[in-house]
Structure 1
């Protein structure tokens, strides 16, 4: 009976993964997020789904989650919790999210919060669940990353909070792949996806359902050789 944990399961890509894996009555699902909406409460299918309200940027909250899941093996952990890192006041003035994360407008407060959630919070969450993953069968930790966290692929500049937070997460995932060889750690860039991370639908964005559908074969086929790698959802490797 596969056991699957999904963070960021309250919306966007995480919620879409939750809907997919919930359709299999053989799955046990641990759904994790900082808040839950009515639509998530009503979306459970046949599988056993247990929800945990957890703030990944709070160590006491993460410790509470670890205690609740103590002794429960996890075969697959999809870490999808993240924030975009835009200056909120500016999102009301422009339909282009990039305008709210430029060199001139970025603030220390936005950078701090973005790094707290996307980098430190991810580290705390993954580390807390390592005992569960080590007890799982062929365990995988799949991290929703971003091409914007690739220094080698940075040709546009900007994204002064989100990019560094995801670049830091890339480093953490690579180190985990070395320090915890029992678990496969793979970062996947889901592409530009229409979710609640931005206030408008960006040009070229796809629906979460389409992005998840493309990622599923990649996730299913991950093996030890993919640990520490960084892929786009179609399977192409991304430079660090």
Structure 2
């Protein structure tokens, strides 16, 4: 379909996962608060906003240093991995996620996924959504992918999946979807337009960099970026 002229037309789409497609952010908040409570600390959205999109190693180091936690990174990873295994399989798809992804797939728009998770955590989170996540190709798990040298906000998380589309599009031809400030900056640093769909609790002053900011994926209009419109 012809582009409406509002934004630059794109040919490929790359999605983040946590907090955008899959409702995992509230689970993360619960796990981190459980982790820091014994030390009299509070895990709030100021800290969370900084951690969103980081590779696991980055996140561990940042949280321990920021809250001055008397624990090793090894303890952090062991404890959180156990809780993730218990809670993450319950994560549900967020409103609009299935609609937009299946629509783009149906119209043969190349769609990729870039998640900050490693392979193990990705498999845990997607336990009940295996068929859905098979729609993405490429699928990059930044937490364990050796080509992703630097986590968000560096460009690697979006440049790497762009190179893995068979036709290797210019990054400017790719539209990124993100929920975190770090993720938005990563996509922008990669030279892409980015649709931001932030969590309701995220400070809106941190949501100004996206090409387009929406309250929900349900509000996305593909034709604004030259993609096939939904059937009326």
Report the TM-score when normalising by structure 1. 0.33
Task: Specify which structure has the bigger relative contact order, considering alpha-carbon pairs within 8 angstroms and separated by 6 or more residues.
Answer: 2
User: Which protein has the bigger helix share?
Assistant: 2
